[in-house]
């Protein structure tokens, strides 16, 4: 059992909760809680190790057994140290350090639904957008500069396992332009000339969602083929980026389902 705050694994967990450069240097990120660790295990995601402690609920006990059966290094930690190491207010008694995937781009010939969250700086919003992207069948998420680190622990928690289902590609705008060649690029904006109900989302597309404070960047606007709005008869100025993204992505599903 780990009982020292100076344990190397606890130090790594604390480092991965910090700045993006720590995660990039380690090539790893955190998954905290039973559901996320279950999702990673079900996806055959590469684990570095898992830590658990305290009086685990039956579901968590079963998960620890599954990790060990798979040959994953799962080590017990004193409850107080594990609680201090985690970020959630109420720990579920388990967390894992996972490998960051190698950079990859999906097959461009089959790409037909891409999300581009531009200047999304709130981790909760980005995580929720990823969850909606996974739910609606998006094949990839292209992450431009100035968007919050996709492996930020708060993003991972909010995404609820979407990291294990999506191709997540951190790219410069020049590369995004290359990889969206052949796709119709839609930009969501309250001032857009076309209602999202009137836009044609059936052909292969990329959807850009701008940030909460400043909206879409000039690079995003330069890439867009069409600018669409979400009609709001209630006269609210704007929607939360995650809510707007969910509305638009499920409109893509609706149109393609009814085609």
Fold annotation for 8-99: 60s Ribosomal Protein L30; Chain: A; (3.30.1330)
Architecture of the 108-258 domain: 3-Layer(aba) Sandwich (3.40)
Q: How far apart are the first and last CA of the chain?
A: 58
Q: Quick check: 93 and 54 in contact, CB under 8 A?
A: yes
SS (H, E, C) the chain: CECCCCCHHHHHHHHHCCCHHHHHHHCEEEEECHHHHHHHHHCCCCEEEEEECCCCCHHHHHHHHHHHHCCCCEEEECHHHHHHHCCCCCCCCEEEEEECCCCCCCCHHHCCEEEEECCCCCHHHHHHHHHHHHHCCCCEEEECCCCCCCCCHHHHHHHCCHHHCCEEEECCHHHHHHHCCCCEEEEECCCCCEECCCCCCCCCEEEEECECCCECCHHHHHHCCEEEECCCCCCCCCCCHHHHHHHHHHHHHHHHHHC
Q: What is the pLDDT along the chain (259 residues), one digit of tens a residue?
A: 888 889 999 999 999 999 999 999 999 999 999 999 999 999 999 999 999 997 899 999 999 999 999 999 999 999 888 888 777 666 689 999 999 998 877 777 889 999 999 999 999 999 999 999 999 999 999 999 999 999 999 999 999 999 999 999 999 999 999 999 999 999 999 888 899 999 999 999 999 999 877 889 999 999 999 999 999 888 777 789 999 999 999 999 999 997 6
207: nearest Cα among 171, 174, 246: 246
Q: Can you tell me the distance from the alpha carbon of 137 to that of 109, in angstroms, rounded to the nearest whole number? A: 17
In the chain, domain spans: 8-99, 108-258
State pTM to two decimals. Answer: 0.93
Q: Can you tell me the distance from the alpha carbon of 250 to that of 203, in angstroms, rounded to the nearest whole number? A: 15
């Amino acid at each position: 059992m780990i009982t020292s705050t100076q344990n190397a694994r606890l130090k790594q967990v604390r480092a991965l909760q910090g700045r993006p450069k720590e995660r990039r240097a380690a090539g790893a990120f955190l998954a905290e809680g039973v559901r996320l660790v279950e999702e990673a295990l079900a996806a055959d995601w590469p684990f570095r190790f898992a830590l658990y402690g305290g009086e685990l609920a039956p579901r968590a006990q079963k998960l620890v057994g599954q990790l060990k059966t798979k040959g994953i290094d799962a080590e017990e930690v004193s409850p107080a140290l594990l609680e201090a190491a985690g970020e959630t207010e109420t720990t579920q008694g388990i967390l894992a350090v996972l490998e960051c995937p190698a950079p990859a781009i999906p097959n461009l010939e089959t790409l037909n639904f891409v999300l581009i969250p531009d200047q999304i700086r709130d981790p909760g919003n980005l995580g929720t957008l990823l969850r909606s992207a996974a739910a609606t069948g998006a094949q990839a998420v292209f992450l431009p500069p100035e968007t919050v680190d996709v492996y930020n622990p708060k993003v991972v928690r909010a995404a609820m396992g979407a990291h294990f289902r999506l191709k997540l590609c951190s790219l410069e705008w020049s590369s995004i332009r290359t990889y969206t060649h052949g796709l119709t690029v839609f930009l969501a904006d309250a001032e857009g000339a076309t209602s999202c109900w009137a836009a044609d989302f059936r052909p292969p597309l990329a959807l850009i969602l701008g940030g909460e404070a400043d909206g879409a960047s000039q690079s995003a606007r330069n890439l867009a083929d069409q600018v669409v709005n979400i009609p709001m008869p209630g006269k609210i100025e704007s929607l939360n980026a995650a809510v707007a993204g969910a509305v638009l992505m499920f409109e893509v599903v609706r149109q393609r389902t009814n085609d």
